[in-house]
Amino acid sequence: GQQVMQIPQYQHVQEGEDFTTYCNSSTTLSNIQWYKQRPGGHPVFLIQLVKSGEVKKQKRLTFQFGEAKKNSSLHITATQTTDVGTYFCAGIRYNFNKFYFGSGTKLNVKP
Amino acid sequence: DAGVTQSPTHLIKTRGQHVTLRCSPISGHKSVSWYQQVLGQGPQFIFQYYEKEERGRGNFPDRFSARQFPNYSSELNVNALLLGDSALYLCASSSYPDLSSYNEQFFGPGTRLTVL
């Protein structure tokens, strides 16, 4: 079954509004990565989270890893049209050498 | 330096045929992973190879196989193609041996496979 769930599936925002996507796993993850995929493109690595409760920031992007290492979020402050794309989380379970990608959140930003 | 390269870019096959997709990792990277991305969905992990050894396998049937060569390039083979195999096939490279030790992986542009 689906190992990693991601919500929402779609998000339409006005430029300048904030955006958040959530990722939930049915099992504890050893680490989680986030990717961005532009329309017609390939996934591009954004960040990796490893520690329980970890928070990392990249300019307007804030990434969090839950205390139980079962959930994660990506928050974008003051979206810009360049943020358009689909954001995926990808988790790795302990003792399983496999990536489990979420279904992605497609972000559309209206200027 | 060149990034991850994949060939061909696009491919059209008919049901029952066989296909071979190729990937060259970033220079110096010894790990290659393969993913299947159906339109509108997230990538699904197929295989990971490190120094010619299979290190990870996803939930795909035996029709899917792969190998890695001494120069670290890789091939993904799919036999007895089904309509449902139509997808974007992505290759990613990394310098780390295991997915759990990955700090980052770099994806290639993909091969768009259409099965008629």
Given a cut of 80, whether residue B44 has pLDDT beyond it is yes
> To the nearest whole angstrom, how far is the Cα of B81 from the nearest Cα of chain A?
23
Question: Span A4-110: which CATH code?
Answer: 2.60.40.10
Q: What is the pLDDT of residues A75-107, one digit of tens each?
A: 999 999 999 999 999 999 877 778 899 999 999
Contacts of A45 in chain B (CB under 8 A): 104-107
Q: Where are the domains of chain A?
A: 4-110
User: How many beta-carbon pairs under 8 angstroms link A with B?
Assistant: 58
Given a cut of 90, whether residue B87 has pLDDT beyond it is yes
Instruction: Among B43, B100, B108, select the one facing A92 at the smallest CB separation.
Output: B100
Indicate which CATH number applies to the domain containing B13. Answer: 2.60.40.10
Preferred mutation among A89, A92, A99, A103 to probe B, highest tally of B CBs within 10 A:
A99
Can you tell me the distance from the alpha carbon of A59 to that of A6, in angstroms, rounded to the nearest whole number?
A: 23
Q: What is the pLDDT of residues A14-34, one digit of tens each?
A: 999 999 999 999 999 999 999
- Expressed as residue numbers, the domain containing B55 is 5-115
Number of domains present in the structure of chain B? 1
Q: Which are the contacts of A82, defined by CB distance < 8 A and separation ≥ 6?
A: none
What pLDDT, on a 0 to 100 scale, did the predictor assign at position A1? 52
Interface of B with A (CB under 8 A): 33, 35, 41-45, 48, 55-58, 90, 98-100, 102-110
Q: How far apart are the first and last CA of chain B?
A: 37
Structure tokens belonging to residue A84: 């358009």
Q: What is the mean pLDDT of chain A?
A: 94
Q: Which are the contacts of A73, defined by CB distance < 8 A and separation ≥ 6?
A: A20, A21, A22, A23, A63, A64
Interface of A with B (CB under 8 A): 6, 30-31, 33, 41-45, 48, 88, 90, 92, 94, 97-104
Q: Which are the contacts of B22, defined by CB distance < 8 A and separation ≥ 6?
A: B6, B7, B73, B74, B75
